[in-house]
Amino acid sequence: MKILVFAGSTRQQSFNRRLAAVGAEAAHIEGAQATLLELADFDIPMYHADLEARGTPADVIRLKEIMDAHPAWIIVTPEYNGSYTGLLKNTLDWASSPVAGHPVFADGSRPFAGKVVGMLSASNGALGGLRAQSHLAPLLINLGCWLAPRQYALPRAASAFGEQGQLTDPAQQAQVQAVVSQVLWAAERLHGTE
């Protein structure tokens, strides 16, 4: 099973990017083919319809193709002001926007419809980014995703990671593994072994 893992942050020392790497490794442990996507590798402007009318940027098409090729996703969301980041919203807005005349992305349902998505988050606060997940969930459902009921918010993230980027608490690692396992389990049942 192919699974896409990405964080809604490009900050170099982002807790959420670290947690995304942990999630990708958890998928490898499950025997899945994990792609760890870095949003910083894409040149995606702020969305607005006038820009889109001049043509969808090439990196948006590239992002859509990568997302479409993976039946399962793990989205790791930072929490800014009690919600998910502008970067993540902008990414999802572009990815969900129809591309006129495109053979795959013309209607706007792809790459989202039917994807099995799990949510993780990390924050230095006690809630671990849980409020961002509560805002992100309705957006993903509205886009046609199958949202895994299991999710995990990593609290006190500044002290959660070891020098090699791993989670030092086995119970926290088990929580991440459980989210990834559930997403892969559901995706295999919905999509077979794509």
Residue the block writes with tokens 């959660």 = 160
User: Band of the pLDDT at 186, cuts 50, 70, 90?
Assistant: very high
Query: Residue 87 pLDDT more than 90?
Result: yes
Tokens read off for 168? 């030092």
Residue 36's CB: how many other CB atoms inside 10 A?
A: 18
Comparing CA positions, the residue from 153, 151, 68 lying closest to residue 112 is 68
Give the Cα separation of 118 and 126 in Å (integer): 21
Query: Residue 142 pLDDT more than 60?
Result: yes
Full residue range of the structural domain in which residue 114 is found: 2-191
Residues 147-170: pLDDT tens digits? 999 999 999 999 999 999 999 999
Give the Cα separation of 106 and 174 in Å (integer): 40
Give the chain's domain count.
1
Mean pLDDT of the residues in the chain: 96
Residues 20-60: pLDDT tens digits? 999 999 999 999 999 999 999 999 999 998 999 999 999 99
Q: What integer is the mean pLDDT of 3-8?
A: 98
- pTM of the model as a whole: 0.96
CATH code, domain with 109 = 3.40.50.360
DSSP state of 66: H
Output the pLDDT for position 192.
79
Query: Residue 134 pLDDT more than 70?
Result: yes
Q: What integer is the mean pLDDT of 115-123?
A: 98
* Percentage of residues in the chain having pLDDT higher than 70: 99
Q: Considering Cα of 73, then 147, then 91, then 26, what sign does the dihedral take?
A: negative
Output the pLDDT for position 194.
53
User: Band of the pLDDT at 108, cuts 50, 70, 90?
Assistant: confident
